[in-house]
């Protein structure tokens, strides 16, 4: 038995004997017991990527958690022991802490005995770009109805405009809930690594108006391996929006550099490596491709721009970032047209559909823009992705889904690598070339080796590489 397997066996044995969470047992066996948190009764509203991970991790830390969601199918799956989303490690946490976890559709049931309520609901953009806070206010209405004496704090993990906390506090005060503290505890979820980034974060940001609430929320995170930064509520709200806007800007910047590299013969991969060696800049989010997607960067960038405009400041830099990102996947279509002449009647294969590898999330995925544009040009679109679960809406209802990359590429006039799935490095590209009608690849994630692909006989294009 390897040392790692022996360690895991010892941890599981301790969990079985003591009833401790896996994380607590692991820390004690490793000789770093840390502080033992006082178990709290926590209600989490929203059982999506943020709320479900937060709830499972709080249970792992020893708290008793009730997760509430308005989607019956999601709650039924969770009550049956199934995981409605793909996130590495999440299933193990839910199974290992089932005695501390429960799930409900009823807001009042969730709140009734809760000491702390976490709000992890969606705040999607409205037509104006502002955040839609209707789900948030529905949670507040539930609190007003229950009026629990147990409730000590309401914690906002959803991404909200700066100033939301003050509005919520005023509503609670007017409803006779002035004793309920309020904190902003923004999420920095990295899908595909959400469990790890919750339990081992680079920072935990807590915005609170009073010391009692700040101490309570800090204590909830005892056992989390990361620094806690306490600040005022508006600053904590801004940290989330500003962080995502800056990361989106880095992605957009390197995509603009990639376009210049294509015109000059420079290699954006080499350029990015050289840039990233500067400790002031760092190597992260300097990967050229089809642009950013997902639930956070597009929404939060628009929300910050809208909030700035509402306060009389036209955020021109952020407007440019958003515009460039919206154009990025469309450039791939234009480059295919330059090679093929027309896309009408052409069979185009999309390898990857999710907004990034390691998740099943299709929200704001560049693949949606790519597929839509191809269909508008008259192309026959075929797709492969190992995890994607797109809604039964256009453009996906007009495309053909395949079980593996080889099947999807057969007969294709061109292939677009949309998502950086590592499985694509193991494809038999020589065999794929034989089955394709035209051996053309546009590598929208710079995943494949250009020399290897050209040596295999492909016409190979990528983003910002000669």
- Tens digit of pLDDT for each residue in 308-332? 999 999 999 999 999 999 999 999 9
Question: Bigger pLDDT: 24 or 66?
Answer: 66
What sign for the dihedral angle of Cα 437, 442, 443, 444?
A: negative
Same domain as 187, residue 98: yes
Mean pLDDT of all residues in 157-171: 96
pLDDT tens digits, one per residue of 27-45: 555 544 445 568 999 999 9
Residues 317 and 452 in one domain: yes
Could you tell me if residue 28 is inside a domain?
no
Structure tokens that stand for 100 in this block: 């501390």
- Which of 204, 231, 258 is the last residue before a domain boundary? 231
CATH at residue 282: 3.40.50.720
Look at residue 32 in the predicted model and tell me its pLDDT.
43
**Strand 459-462 relative to strand 400-402: parallel, antiparallel, unpaired?**
unpaired
Q: Are 215 and 319 members of one domain?
A: no
Residues 332 and 416 reside in one and the same domain: yes
The angle formed by the CA atoms of residues 90, 95 and 98, to the nearest 5 degrees, is 115
**Which of 320, 400, 306 is CA-nearest to residue 353?**
400
Whether residue 20 lies inside any domain: the answer is no
Boundaries of domain holding 293: 273-462
The pTM assigned to this predicted structure is 0.87
Can you give the pLDDT at residue 284? 95
166 pLDDT above the threshold of 60: yes
pLDDT of residue 273: 97
- The full 3-state SS of the chain, as one line of letters, equals CCHHHHHHHHHHHHHHHHCCCHHHHHHHHCCCCCCCCCCCEEEEECCCHHHHHHHHHHHHCCCEEEEECCCHHHHHHHHCCCCCCCCCCHHHHHHHCHHHEEEECCHHHHHCCCCEEEECCCCCECCCCCECCHHHHHHHHHHHHHCCCCCCEEEECCCCCCCHHHHHHHHHHHCCCCCCEEEECCCCCCCCCHHHHHHCCCCEEEEECCHHHHHHHHHHCCCCCCCEEEECHHHHHHHHHHHHHHHHHHHHHHHHHHHHHHHHCCCHHHHHHHHHCCCCCCCCCCCCCCCCCCCCHHHHHHHHHHHHHHCCCCCHHHHHHHHHHHHHHHHHHHHHHHHHCCCCCCEEEEECCCCCCCCCCCCCCHHHHHHHHHHHCCCEEEEECCCCCCCCCCCHHHCEEECCHHHHHCCCCEEEECCCCHHHHHCCHHHHHHHCCCCEEEECCCCCCHHHHHHCCCEEEECCCC
Nearest-5° angle of CA 84, CA 88, CA 89? 95
Catalytic residue check, 296: yes
* One domain, residues 55 and 196: yes
Same domain, 412 and 284: yes
Please report whether residue 75 resides in a domain: yes
Q: Which of 231, 264, 293 is the last residue of a domain?
A: 231
Evaluate whether residue 266 is within a structural domain: no
Annotated catalytic residue within 57, 68, 261, 296: 296
Contact assessment for residue 234 and residue 163, using Cβ atoms and an 8 Å cutoff: yes
Quote the number of domains for the chain: 2
Do the domain assignments include residue 15? no
Residue 436 within any structural domain of the chain? yes
User: Do 225 and 287 reside in the same domain of the chain?
Assistant: no
Do 286 and 225 fall within a single domain? no
Rounded to 5 degrees, φ, ψ at 424 are -70, -20
Does 449 have pLDDT greater than 90?
yes
Nearest to 128 by CA among 159, 161, 168, 169: 161
User: Considering the chain, what percentage of its residues have pLDDT values greater than 90?
Assistant: 84
Task: Out of 180, 207, 231, pick the residue that ends a domain.
Answer: 231
The reply to whether 194 and 343 lie within a common domain is no
- What average pLDDT does the structure give for the chain? 92
Domain shared by 209 and 356, yes or no = no
Residue 27 falls inside a structural domain: no
Cβ contact 229:203 at 8 Å: yes
Say yes or no: 345 and 202 in one domain: no
Residues 182 and 104 in one domain: yes
Residue 254 lies in a domain: no
Task: Report pLDDT digits (tens) over 383-415.
Answer: 999 999 988 999 999 999 999 999 999 999 999
Instruction: Give the pLDDT of residue 33.
Output: 43
């Amino acid at each position: 038995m390897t040392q790692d397997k022996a360690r895991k066996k010892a941890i599981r044995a301790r969990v079985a004997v003591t009833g401790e969470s896996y994380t607590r047992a692991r820390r004690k066996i490793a000789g770093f017991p840390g502080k033992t948190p006082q178990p709290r009764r926590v209600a989490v509203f929203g059982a999506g990527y943020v709320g479900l991970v937060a709830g499972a991790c709080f249970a792992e830390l020893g708290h008793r958690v009730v997760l509430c969601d308005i989607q019956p199918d999601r709650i039924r799956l969770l009550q049956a022991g199934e995981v409605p989303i793909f996130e590495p490690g999440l299933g193990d946490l839910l199974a290992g802490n089932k005695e501390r976890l429960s799930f409900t559709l009823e807001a009042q049931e969730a709140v009734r005995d809760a000491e702390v309520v976490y709000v992890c609901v969606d705040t999607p953009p409205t037509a104006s770009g502002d955040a839609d806070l209707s789900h948030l206010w529905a949670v507040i209405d539930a609190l007003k109805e229950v009026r629990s004496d147990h409730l000590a704090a309401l914690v906002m993990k959803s991404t909200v405009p700066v100033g939301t906390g003050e509005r919520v506090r005023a509503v609670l005060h007017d409803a006779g809930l002035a004793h309920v503290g309020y904190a902003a505890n923004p999420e920095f979820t990295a899908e595909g690594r959400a469990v790890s980034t919750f339990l081992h974060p680079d920072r935990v940001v807590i915005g609170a108006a009073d010391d009692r609430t700040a101490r309570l929320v800090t204590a909830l995170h005892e056992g989390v391996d990361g620094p806690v930064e306490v600040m005022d509520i508006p600053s904590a709200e801004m940290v989330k929006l500003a962080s995502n806007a800056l990361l989106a800007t880095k992605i957009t910047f390197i995509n603009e550099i990639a376009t210049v590299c294509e015109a000059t013969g420079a290699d954006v991969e080499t350029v990015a490596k050289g840039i990233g060696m500067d400790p002031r800049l760092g190597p992260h989010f300097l990967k050229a491709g089809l642009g950013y997607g997902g639930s956070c960067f597009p929404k939060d960038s628009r929300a910050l721009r809208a909030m700035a405009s509402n306060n009389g400041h036209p955020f021109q830099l952020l407007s440019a970032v958003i515009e460039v990102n919206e154009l990025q996947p469309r450039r791939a279509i234009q480059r295919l047209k330059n090679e093929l002449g027309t896309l009408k009647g052409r069979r185009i294969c999309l390898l990857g559909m999710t907004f990034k590898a390691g998740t099943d999330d299709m929200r704001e995925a560049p693949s949606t823009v790519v597929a839509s544009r191809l269909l508008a040009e008259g192309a026959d679109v075929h797709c492969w992705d190992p995890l994607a679960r797109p809604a039964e809406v256009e453009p996906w209802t007009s495309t053909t889904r395949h079980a593996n990359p080889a099947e999807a590429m057969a007969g294709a006039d061109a292939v677009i690598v949309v998502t950086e799935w590592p499985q694509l490095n193991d494809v038999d590209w020589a065999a794929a070339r034989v089955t394709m009608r035209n051996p053309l690849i546009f590598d929208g994630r710079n995943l494949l080796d250009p020399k290897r692909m050209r040596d295999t006989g492909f016409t190979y294009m990528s983003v910002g590489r000669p």
